[in-house]
Amino acid sequence: MSEETLSNLSREDRTFEPPAELAEHANVTAEAYERAASDREAFWAEAAERLDWEQTWDRVLDWDDPPFAKWFVGGRLNAAYNCVDRHVEAGQGDKVAFHWVGEPADDTRTLTYQQLQDEVCKAANALTELGVKAGDRVAIYLPMLPETVVAMLACARLGAPHTVVFGGFSSDALASRLTDCEAKVVITSDGGYRRGSASPLKPAVDEARAKAAGEGFEVEHVLVVRRTGQEVDWDDAVDVWWHEAVDNASSEHTCEFFDSEHPLYVMYTSGTTGKPKGILHTTGGYLTGTSYTHHAIFDHKPETDVYWCTADVGWVTGHSYMVYGPLANGATQVMYEGTPDTPHKGRWWEIIQEYGVTIFYTAPTAIRTFMKQGREIPDGFDLSSIRLLGSVGESINPEAYMWYREVIGGDRCPIVDTWWQTETGQILISPLPGVTAGKPGSAMTAMPGIEADVVDEAGESVPDGSGGYLVVKSPWPAMLRTIWGDDERFKETYWSRFAKQGYYFAGDGAKKDDDGDIWLLGRVDDVMNVSGHRLSTTEIESALVSHPKVAEAAVVGAADETTGQAVCAFVILRDSAGDGGEDIVEELRKHVQKEIGAIAKPRQIMIVPELPKTRSGKIMRRLLKDVAEHREVGDVTTLADSSVMNLISDGLSSEKADD
Ligand code: ATP
Ligand code: MG
């Protein structure tokens, strides 16, 4: 008998059938699963045919030298041409590509596909003028502006891989990325609007450039978008204004076509578990995987839908499901510059009402923040245009799923809980909205053409009802090709754990329920061992969040003399719960016991005002574990707000442990 890999604690009986109308007209139906399973390569080849190729491939997949995959071998295409030009050529030039909404009131811009094409061509000409050639790397460090998308597409057009660095990152983070991928040019802005004020960006680039130079790496040029009009330091030898270089460039640009495996971009992971890794994505497979899944999972209808993905373009979600996937599909999108609470807490809902958003894709962390604030805020807006909701980034707790479904989706819209990673490039596990009856908290099943499974220590598939390691058993088109400049680390990180089987493993735990549907259970690094039971974070957190006074929860295992490890929980209360009352801790401990059993009952529960999160909004449990074990807090460089850890430790020292 093998030992229990991961306990299965929670039960969920609610299911929601696809709306009849959606199912009837769904882009993808149940037959896709069988078709894909019977011939996976033929299935992906058909998906690739949705794109325009200058030359088609000779071979769908080359997996002769695993784990180094090549997709659509011999094919040639241009990603920017597929995202922009081909729609204009098809007569869609007047169609809106982006309704861009700035953070300051009434600061909006509309970009049609024709305008997008003109801008991308001009930017491509300007970059060429600055010496950028195919293969050169370009860093993009910008807020959420139309120019950000234009810059990415201009790089893609030239075959110059971009690396987008989230605008909230420090000059250190920027410098390490610039040197890691040796960026020739940086595209930035004077500043951007966030939380109601103009914050500078250019100074961080100046600093990063100086740091890189100190390490012997020189950035050649910095192309600067004028957004806020604030003062900037200027180096004539290096700095160039976008409005001079790009606005004066020609809008004629004949694009070159590149090999299907030509590098498209390098994206660094969020850094939830440690030092970010530079993930390399290439062109043909990536565009196939992202555009097909966007079409299938969001049931996207280009003629009628208004799609809004709230992710920052500095994350992979912004790359795959705001830029490449949706644009390849000719989508009309909303893009918003600022924060959800500026100038008021209903800003997102106001934007949905204003633009008639029909498909809305966001993260559980945002949903839980809105739950904390109360439903009165979204209830004040007309959200009836929405027909489909999506979630990504972390597990969506059943309680948050129900709130999202009822309050934002008016109890009529399906929710797609999409599991994927920077490394996977495309969504791998998700319901299909016209096929799958969704269960609150489950990502459900692998997409057609994807072979995912949950396995035990030995790599054997676990039976339904058990937990283990989530693996992918065969290659998929948008998979990472390597870690930039480090093939060994690529093999070691993702392919060594189940090397014998040849499975991809990137660190997440999961379980199969009695129907075989997949539930994500958090990182395996975060699994707790309590009296010999291996408990995941997600289920205990979800049990806490299901209490009406709780908005958010994070659970970690702390060393314990009697049980090996003990469950420690950090909890944020809903605004309506006030301080929770005198007995709140005991109330919550009992609640967890009742929901999932005595074994999971937290030894300690700490009520905190905030949780440590990465800049992409994910909870950083390893820092909480340091607090729970009274250690010095570890590396906080990817933490969004460094004062949060002080808030938490200060609060704790004044609180006694409850046992
Ligand atoms: P790093 O790898 O640097 O620690 P990261 O893993 O947070 O950072 P991302 O690639 O942005 O970087 O995030 C992918 C991870 O997010 C997944 O491995 C998984 O843990 C989590 N995740 C994403 N979507 C879901 C989902 N729908 N359900 C559960 N977890 C999800
Ligand atoms: Mg990761």
Q: Is 418 annotated as a binding residue?
A: yes
Q: Is 317 annotated as a binding residue?
A: yes
Please report which ligand is nearest the Cα atom of 620: 1
Q: Is 117 annotated as a binding residue?
A: no
What's the CA-to-centroid distance between 467 and ligand 1, angstroms? 18
Q: Is 547 annotated as a binding residue?
A: yes
What's the CA-to-centroid distance between 115 and ligand 2, angstroms? 36
What's the CA-to-centroid distance between 420 and ligand 2, angstroms? 10
Rg of the Cα trace of the chain?
24
Q: Is 387 annotated as a binding residue?
A: no
What's the CA-to-centroid distance between 607 and ligand 1, angstroms? 25
Which among 508, 524, 527, 637 is the best mutation to test ligand 1's pocket, defined by most ligand atoms within 8 Å of the CB? 508
CB atoms closer than 10 angstroms to residue 534: 20
Which among 422, 423, 541, 616 is the best mutation to test ligand 1's pocket, defined by most ligand atoms within 8 Å of the CB? 422
Q: Is 197 annotated as a binding residue?
A: yes
According to the model, what pLDDT value does residue 653 have? 59
Note whether 173 and 165 are within 8 A (CB): yes
Pocket of ligand 1 (CB under 6 A): 269-274, 276, 316, 392-395, 417-419, 421-422, 443, 506, 508, 520, 523, 616, 618
| 322 three-state secondary structure | helix
Going by C-alpha positions, the residue among 350, 301, 289, 357 that lies closest to residue 325 is 289
What's the CA-to-centroid distance between 393 and ligand 1, angstroms? 5
Which amino acid residue places its CA nearest to atom 23 of ligand 1? 393
According to the model, what pLDDT value does residue 656 have? 40
Q: Is 430 annotated as a binding residue?
A: no
What's the CA-to-centroid distance between 421 and ligand 1, angstroms? 5
Instruction: Please give the number of the atom of ligand 1 that sits closest to the Cα of 430.
Output: 27
Which amino acid residue places its CA nearest to atom 13 of ligand 1? 421
Q: H-type helices in 473-580, by residue range?
A: 487-495, 537-545
Instruction: Please give the number of the atom of ligand 1 that sits closest to the Cα of 279.
Output: 10
What's the CA-to-centroid distance between 519 and ligand 1, angstroms? 14
According to the model, what pLDDT value does residue 273 have? 79
Which among 272, 320, 483 is the best mutation to test ligand 1's pocket, defined by most ligand atoms within 8 Å of the CB? 272
Note whether 222 and 239 are within 8 A (CB): yes
Please report which ligand is nearest the Cα atom of 429: 1
According to the model, what pLDDT value does residue 1 have? 36
Which amino acid residue places its CA nearest to atom 17 of ligand 1? 421
Instruction: Please give the number of the atom of ligand 1 that sits closest to the Cα of 523.
Output: 20
According to the model, what pLDDT value does residue 652 have? 67
What's the CA-to-centroid distance between 351 and ligand 2, angstroms? 31
What's the CA-to-centroid distance between 631 and ligand 2, angstroms? 24
Which amino acid residue places its CA nearest to atom 3 of ligand 1? 271
| CA 14, 17, 18, 19 torsion-angle sign | negative
Q: Is 128 annotated as a binding residue?
A: no
Please report which ligand is nearest the Cα atom of 397: 1
Note whether 190 and 227 are within 8 A (CB): yes
Intervals of the chain under pLDDT 70: 1-3, 651-659
Instruction: Please give the number of the atom of ligand 1 that sits closest to the Cα of 507.
Output: 18
Going by C-alpha positions, the residue among 572, 582, 587, 581 that lies closest to residue 648 is 572
Tokens of 427: 């969504």
Full-model pTM: 0.96
Please report which ligand is nearest the Cα atom of 422: 1
What's the CA-to-centroid distance between 419 and ligand 2, angstroms? 12
Q: Is 545 annotated as a binding residue?
A: yes
CB atoms closer than 10 angstroms to residue 415: 22
What is the phi-psi region of residue 532: left when phi exceeds 0, alpha when psi lies from -120 to 50, beta otherwise?
A: left
For residue 177, give every residue at least 6 positions away whose Cβ sits within 8 Å of its Cβ, in sequence order, or none: 139, 163, 165, 183, 268, 278
Going by C-alpha positions, the residue among 545, 555, 566 that lies closest to residue 624 is 555
Give tens-digit pLDDT for 185-242: 999 999 999 999 999 999 999 999 999 999 999 999 999 999 999 999 999 999 999 9
Note whether 467 and 454 are within 8 A (CB): yes
CA distances from 361 to 268, 449, 502 (A): 21, 23, 33
CA distance 234 to 194: 23
Going by C-alpha positions, the residue among 238, 242, 223, 219 that lies closest to residue 136 is 219
| 35 three-state secondary structure | helix
According to the model, what pLDDT value does residue 639 have? 84
Which amino acid residue places its CA nearest to atom 1 of ligand 1? 271
Tokens of 508: 């997440």
CA distance 612 to 610: 7
CA distance 156 to 79: 6
Which of the listed CATH numbers 3.30.300.30, 3.40.1190.20, 3.20.20.80, 3.40.980.10 matches domain 527-658? Answer: 3.30.300.30
- 585 phi/psi in degrees, rounded to 5: -65, -45
According to the model, what pLDDT value does residue 643 have? 84
Q: Is 91 annotated as a binding residue?
A: no
Going by C-alpha positions, the residue among 405, 414, 456, 409 that lies closest to residue 435 is 414
Tokens of 372: 């904390």
Strand pairing class (278-282; 482-483): antiparallel
Instruction: Please give the number of the atom of ligand 1 that sits closest to the Cα of 422.
Output: 10
What's the CA-to-centroid distance between 493 and ligand 2, angstroms? 10
Q: Is 422 annotated as a binding residue?
A: yes
For residue 334, give every residue at least 6 positions away whose Cβ sits within 8 Å of its Cβ, in sequence order, or none: 98, 99, 101, 306, 307, 308, 351, 355, 357
According to the model, what pLDDT value does residue 645 have? 86
